[in-house]
Structure 1
Amino acid sequence: MPFASNPLHRRRLLAVLGAAGLASATGVRAEGAWPARPIRMVVPSGAGSGADLLCRLFSDALAQAVRQPVVVDNRPGANGVLAAEQLVRAAPDGYTLGWLSSSSTVINQAVQPNLSFDVARDTVPIVQVGVGGIALVVTPDFPARNLQEFVANVKGRPAGALNYATWGVGSTGHLVMEWLKAKAGLDLRHVPYKTMPQIYQDMQGGNIQIAWVDVSSLVPLFKSGKLRCLALSGTQRSPQMPEVLTLTQQGYRFEADAWYGVFAPRGTPAAVVEAVNRHVRAALVAPELKDRRMALNLDDNTPQRSPEEFGRLVRDDLKLWQGIARDAGIKLDA
């Protein structure tokens, strides 16, 4: 007797198919509810950078929430393009996530229109972590204590006499400095580095005096007097360095904020996206993590955005940074 012709067997078959359809719709894999094994979190920075330190804090919190290890996979280089490519090529099963930034996503796409991926098309923005700016820093022996003195000092030197460092061609730091150069009439040469710790090492070794860096990794060097911060690029001051003024507050109107966020490959199940969003947002306000967040310059003002809201921010910021790149005259070949 054929299997499907037996009423009992037919009911069992329909039950199995119904369960399979439910599992597919909710993102549950055959071997059990997500996650059934460790999760990889790709980060486009080397160990010890601000992005890496924040990534590890929230990866640990996510691991505790889902009861599976979250393994941080450092993929520095090419201003985050290498890490982003790793993410978009991964299987959309919830086991590869990306700790990306505005620099490695929308800013890359703003200055490199021929990238191998499209942020809006190939990724799922899950949750925003942090909002603010990056920092213009100089060595303690550089004769400037604010942006006005910096501009005057640079203008008083021969063209191209000074270099500045960032963490890569097309990075936020590169874009902001080229914008400032255009607005203030400065002549500085760009020296791209692969990682933030390499920049700090060369600044303290006397090899370079000027750089744009992330605020999270800067805080201990700033507080110890090893580096001086002249300005921040974002719309608000740093909770760990409240005395440092923004570009806008020093006469150069700049209203684009930087951010970190968790992303997934396109096609990742909605249930996974929702779960990661919920757990990371909980970590953003968890009282037991407050001291660690503040130590990394992350206060409680991060917007609590849904995946849809974060996705809109990503699309809007892409247009914003495309305008900044156009004003600064920056366009790179991918």
Structure 2
Amino acid sequence: MPASLRFGALFLATLAACAPAHAADTYPQRPVTLIVPTAAAGGTDTIARVMAEALGKQLGQPFVVENKPGANGVLGVEAGARAAPDGYRLLFAYAASVVVNPSLYRKLPYDPVKDLAPIAQIGRGGNLLLVRPDFPARTLGEFVAEVKAHPGKYSYCSWGAGSGGHLAMESLKKQAGIDMLHVPYKGSSPCVQDLAGKQVDAAFADTSSTIELVKAGRVRALANSGPQRLPMLPDVPTMTEAGYPFTTYSWYGLLAPARTPPAIIERLNGAVQKALVDPEVVRRLRELNFDDLPQTSPAQFATVIGDDLKAWRTLVRSINLQLD
């Protein structure tokens, strides 16, 4: 090969090797979309908008929320997984949409491990077991006794068949030997509003969208599914403390399509970590009762996802639930 051609080939190879790093140095150069697999106004959407504003501040380009609800989060997660792997369409997901659905559905249009690249976990916490304000029980034990004495009389809502709220209540039903009617909604917000309006009797729901209703007496919290009591509700025991062992974390997370350049993943992770120690962001998240903000690398978040996939698979099998 002539010397000029060898030099040209070497130059092109060097340019190709440097391109991903250079792209990360200048990323982002235009607005970034965060795909949220829920409707607007729920807990996931609210947290996503706080983080979108914070990431825009960190990286100098707008981060725009695109709500894509439907099919228990499947539609939004699929859109995130199928996006171009260039860092401009990302997925802002809640835990169940990523780690529960693979155990529930016979077929999914994506594989959460193969088709998604974890960027950062954004907070974690348990869900609250809530009842309507006039429900004749003030503890989990009293709740179980009341429902058991009237099989089939009481109903509970969730944000969809196979959602975390649905599975948590089904697990409690199996442990306690109680019978309740499941009323699935298309989102957590209408479910909780109907609970406060006494249209349904109980629900498991996230703290960020329900804590003010609890404080205002519009719903009553009986237990928390996380591993410890919540600082904002210190008198509400965990499910395990109340005699019904059940511990699950709900979390939010930022993910990219697989094959997104690692340098862009790391840049986004760094921006998330800076956002999570920004006093203004922390203040806003705490106002939403989101207090547990672990700092995770992409690899650590991948481990969380892997562990949760195994835990939820065990739970789903234990209650013999599968969706088409």
Q: Same fold (TM over 0.5)?
A: yes
Name 1:216's counterpart in structure 2: 208
Q: Which runs of 5+ in 1 are unaligned?
A: none
1:316 equivalent among 307, 311, 314: 307
Aligned residues: 324
Specify the alignment match of 2:245 in structure 1. Answer: 253
Which of 151, 169, 172 aligns to 2:144? It is 151
Equivalent position to 1:28, from 14, 17, 23? 23
- Cα distance, 1:172 vs. partner? 0.5
- Structure 2 unpaired stretches of 5+: none
Q: Return 285-294 or 272-281, whichever deviates more.
A: 285-294
Q: Say yes or no: does 1:188 pair with 2:180.
A: yes
Q: Secondary structure at the match of 1:260?
A: strand
Indicate if the aligned counterparts of 1:27 and 1:272 stay in contact, CA closer than 8 A.
no
User: Secondary structure of 2:256's match?
Assistant: strand
Find the counterpart in structure 2 of residue 57 from structure 1: 50
Q: Which amino acid aligns with 2:137?
A: A
Alpha-carbon distance in 2 for matches of 1:179, 1:118: 25
Give the conservation status (yes or no) of the 8 Å contact 1:27–1:271: no
Aligned residues: CA RMSD: 1.9
For 1:282-329, what per-residue CA distance to the aligned partner results, in whole angstroms no more than 9, with x for missing partners?
Answer: 222222322211111222x43222101110111111011111111122
Identical positions, percent: 44
Paired with 2:106 and 2:227, the residues of 1 have a C-alpha distance of 26
User: Match of 1:304?
Assistant: 295
Q: Which runs of 4+ in 1 moved over 6 A?
A: none
Aligned to 2:167: 175
TM-score normalised by structure 1 residue count = 0.91
Q: 1:133 aligns with which of 126, 136, 139?
A: 126
SS in 1 for 2:210: helix
2:258 is the counterpart of 1:266: yes
Check whether the contact 2:105–2:322 (CA below 8 A) recurs between aligned residues: yes
Moved more, 174-183 or 75-84: 75-84
| Structure 2: distance between partners of 1:194 and 1:328 | 22
Classify the secondary structure of the residue corresponding to 2:276.
Answer: helix
Shift of 1:254: 1.5
8 Å CA contact 1:137–1:212 kept in 2: the answer is yes
Task: Tell me how far apart the structure 1 counterparts of residues 107 and 262 of structure 2 sit (CA, whole Å).
Answer: 29
C-alpha contact (below 8 Å) 1:129/1:260 kept by paired residues: yes
